Each structure stands twice: as C-alpha cells, then as structure tokens.
Structure 1
C-alpha cells in the first residue's frame, strides 16, 4: 500500500519580519508535521540573485510565488500588521492562491473587527454612530468581519476557515494557538474525506 502524500500548506504571514522568523517558521512546520501536513515557509524558497537589493526582492517574490504554486492550500496569519489590516504581502499571496483555485484558511491573533481597528486608528467622531467615517470623511466599512471584506470573503468562497484568538500584545505574531486550532480542524476534515 502506497504512503499517502502529505498535503503541502504554504504558511503566509508577517512572521518573516520577526527577529525570530526562522524559529517561528520551524515551529509552524513542526506543528504541520504533527497534524499530518507539510509546511512551506516563505524563507524556504530558493533565492538566487546577484546584484542589487531590488533584484534580491524580485527573487524572493518569485520564490514565494513558486512555493504557493507548489502548495495544496494556504494558511495565512492575518493578524493586523503596521495598520488596521493584514500584511499587504500576505494579502497578495492569498489573492494569488485564490486565483490559482487553492483553498485558503486564515487566522488572526486580534479578535477585534476590522471596523473597530480602523476607527481606533483613523476614525472621527464616536464609534457607536450608524455610519463611521475616518478623518478624511471617507466611510469605514462595517460588515462585522475581521478584515477587509475581500480578504475574509475570499477565504469563505474558497471553502476555507477563519479563526481568531486574543493573543497578548507581546505574542501578537508568535502565538500559534489559532494556527494549531486550524490544523486540528483541517486534520479532522481531511480524515472524514
């Protein structure tokens, strides 16, 4: 009897910017293995570039796109990064994965809604008003979602799961509780198939 092929999961998220990025990647990959998956971390990509920082940036982009193409599904850490929303690179990656027809799962270590976070950073007036506006008078979306409607909507339309967990500020990018909960759910889901 042939050994089943492990499903490959691209592990998108802003962890690559953390000082302990390699350690976080190793922890996530170990959890994937524990639950019967093979994790692909962005720093795993084969990067070959000589010359400028710009060329290196393009090489990293190409390597990460190849990892996404090679993955069976994506789990994205959508914890807000440098603003009210998820890391823009991670958002690009889940858009690419969605366009490739992959199932996308996401999690955030901040359970507040996107409208709450946006208003806290840029809002004007009081939060309880029926319509919310930022300091420039532009409306703030209120769809009771944890990030922009295209992000969470794309996850749902792909058949994916989105979870949140209230991590401490110090562990905002390193707490893997929601990530592990997702892996548990995926393991059960695939066992039933």
Structure 2
C-alpha cells in the first residue's frame, strides 16, 4: 500500500487531531496509508529547541517513508502557503517523490491580488512595496508550480485525481 505524507498548516488548527483523523481516513478510503505529522510521538518535557528538532526529524522520516506528498498550499498567515509546508514539498521533490498540492482557487497568482494591492509599472505589476509580482500563469510561485502538481479543490480532490491517473 502506498503511503501519503499529509503536509500543511492544518497541524496548527485547534481541531488538528480531528483533521488528521479525517484525512488519514480519506487516504484509507482511496487505498492509501496516510502519514499525518501529529501521529509522531515527541517528548514535550524537553527544551523548546529540542522539541522542535525532534518534530523536524520525525517529519523528515515520514516524508522519506512516503511515496506521495499531498500538501495544503492555501494561504496561511498572509498571501503565501505555510513555509514549513513549502519546505516539505521541496524536500520531497528533491527525493523524487510525487508531490501534489491543493488550493481553493487556482487563479493566476497575479489575479489573486486585489486591484488596490497592485499597480502597473514599466509593463509589469508590482505590489504595494514596489516588488514585482510574478506572472507565469501559475497560481503560486514558479518554484512550487514547477515541482508540484497543483490542483484546485481539497485533499479529497487530489485523492480522486490520483485514482484517475
């Protein structure tokens, strides 16, 4: 049975355990074994930095054991996906794993900026801080878009896609 590492900022939600149970149950429904980061056992009586390192090491091992990574790439604490999730996608890609991400809206990244959040300058769009806004007809930064199959929908949408491959 192929293993799916479930990446995303869902681990920061108040009901993160319940979310993990739901996502791993969906994996099972589609014939996969779900690996959810909060399934790792970590000793929380240690220093904060040792806890962080243990979480990091345990998640790395899970990614190494997985065949497929499915990542929640919706915006988290701003316009971009969770940085830890992005790292996990890149690490998995480097290991030549299949990497899939899901987002609620797969519009072109530049279109995700409201009209009052961008302006044209010298033929390009810039944000309020005069930084260029990437425009490659992808919903996210090119480094994610070129390494990750991005699917509009939710976790189950990706599982349905995998079964249809």
Match of 1:141 among 134, 137, 142: 134
1: CA distance, partners of 2:2 / 2:32: 5
Return the alpha-carbon distance in structure 2 between the equivalents of residues 121 and 71 of structure 1.
41
Mapping of residues 167-182 of structure 1, within 5 Å: 178-182=154-158
Measured in 2, the distance between the counterparts of 1:71 and 1:23 equals: 21
Residue among 125, 147, 150 paired with 1:154:
147
Q: Tell me if 1:82 matches 2:72.
A: no
What is the aligned length? Answer: 165
**TM-score w.r.t. structure 1 length?**
0.78
TM-score by length of 2: 0.90
Structure 1 gaps of 5+ residues are: 1-5, 156-160, 166-177
Measured after TM superposition, the shift of residue 125 of structure 1 is 2.9
Report the 3-state secondary structure (helix = DSSP H, G, I; strand = E; otherwise coil) of the residue aligned with 1:132.
strand
Name the counterpart of 2:51: 56
| CA distance 1:9–1:130, shift in 2 (3 Å) | same
Change (3 A) 1:49 1:122: farther
Q: 2:119 maps to what in 1?
A: 125
Residue 185 of structure 1, CA deviation? 1.9
What is the deviation of 1:104? Answer: 0.3
Q: Does 1:14 align with 2:9?
A: yes
From the superposition, tell whether residues 19 and 121 of structure 1 become closer, same or farther in structure 2 (CA, over 3 Å): farther
Q: Which has the higher strand share?
A: 2
Distance 1:150 1:73 in 2: 18
Q: Distance in 2 between matches of 1:54 and 1:15?
A: 22
Match for residue 164 of structure 1?
152
5+ long unaligned stretches in structure 2: none
Change (3 A) 1:122 1:61: farther
CA displacement, residues 73-131 of structure 1 (integer Å, 9 cap, x when unaligned): 101110111111111000000111011110101101233432233x34993436xx941
**Whole-angstrom CA distance in 2 between matches of 1:94 and 1:55:** 23
